[in-house]
């Protein structure tokens, strides 16, 4: 029987039941992919982060209940929180090696952890799919862009909060959907919908800010911004735009510590 430590962390929040929960499992060596997927399915969280120590830091992978994914912000933050707080890690920066997006770093300053992620561009869409507006329950938007995901820009935070999407209806779009607007008490707010995934609305989406930060940095003429994801759980992010990279800061709170027993 093999025993593996298990952590559940609320990322992008300093409060229990806030932000976005992720499971984290430190490994001494990589297990077969099908076993990692079964573990993620058993954990039944939006993502499980697995990591193995290497010469430069740690190799990091992320699994949903359906498959391995190429990038996850909140599970990276959760993994860094575990390493800094519970694995007796002495440095103030972690280097994660990933399979799809190269090296990622997470630095620590007090209670705040900062992800260093790639910046993603999104191109303007002149004729957005009618299905996009229909499934969001809106008639128009200030702007629609598309990159890794759809980004729908609305006028106000209240409009973003009022969205009641038809998630199943979005599946033919073939992409996730991010809705955003200027914030009342933050530079910008957002929500993130995941058609076809086990979690219909992601509570706080670090990777979406790889697209949101360059967009709002350009629109607002700022490089340092405060953001909030206005899901039911909600989460606060400190954002910085550095050309081809973005810095995404957040806090994290341990919810659960346990053991996984593999027989």
Residue 93 designated active-site: no
What is the bridge-based pairing of β-strands 112-118 and 103-109?
antiparallel
User: Which DSSP string do the residues of 146-202 spell out, in sequence order?
Assistant: ESSSEEEE-S-HHHHHH----HHHHGGG-S-EEEEEE-SSSSEEEEEE-TTSSSSEE
- Specify the residue for token string 């991010």: 178
Q: Is 211 helix (H, G, I), strand (E, B) or coil?
A: helix
47, 143, 155, 201: the catalytic one is 47
Chain center to CA of 8: 15
Range list of β-strands (E), the chain: 2-11, 20-27, 48-53, 58-63, 68-69, 93-97, 103-109, 112-118, 123-124, 143-146, 150-153, 177-182, 188-193, 201-202, 224-229, 235-242, 245-250, 252-262
What is the bridge-based pairing of β-strands 150-153 and 177-182?
parallel
- Given phi > 0 = left and psi -120 to 50 = alpha, else beta, which region is 259? beta
**How far apart are alpha carbons 263 and 247 in whole angstroms?**
41
CB atoms < 10 A from the CB of 48, how many?
28
Q: Which residues pair with 43 in a beta bridge?
A: none
Active site residues: 47
């Amino acid at each position: 029987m093999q025993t593996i430590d298990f952590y559940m962390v609320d990322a992008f929040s300093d409060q229990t039941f806030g932000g976005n929960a992720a499971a984290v499992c430190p490994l001494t060596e990589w297990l077969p992919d099908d076993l990692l997927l079964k573990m993620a399915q058993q954990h039944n969280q939006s993502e499980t982060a697995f990591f193995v120590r290497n010469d430069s830091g740690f190799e990091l992978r992320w699994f949903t209940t359906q498959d391995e994914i190429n990038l996850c912000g909140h599970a990276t933050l959760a993994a860094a929180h575990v390493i800094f707080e519970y694995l007796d890690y002495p440095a103030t920066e972690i280097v994660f090696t990933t399979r799809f997006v190269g090296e990622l770093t997470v630095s620590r300053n007090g209670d705040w952890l900062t992800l260093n992620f790639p910046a993603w561009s999104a191109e303007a869409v002149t004729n957005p799919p009618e299905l996009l507006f229909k499934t969001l329950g809106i008639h128009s938007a200030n702007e629609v862009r598309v990159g890794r995901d759809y980004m729908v820009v609305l006028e106000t935070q209240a409009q973003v909060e009022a969205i009641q999407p038809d998630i199943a209806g979005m599946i033919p779009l073939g992409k996730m959907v991010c809705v955003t607007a200027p914030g009342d008490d933050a530079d910008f707010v957002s929500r993130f919908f995941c058609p076809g995934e086990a979690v219909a609305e992601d509570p706080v989406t670090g990777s979406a800010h790889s697209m949101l930060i360059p967009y709002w940095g350009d629109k607002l003429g700022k490089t340092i911004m405060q953001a909030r994801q206005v899901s039911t759980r909600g989460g606060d992010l400190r954002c910085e735009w550095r050309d081809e990279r973005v810095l995404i800061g957040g806090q994290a709170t341990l919810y659960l510590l346990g053991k996984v027993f593999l027989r």
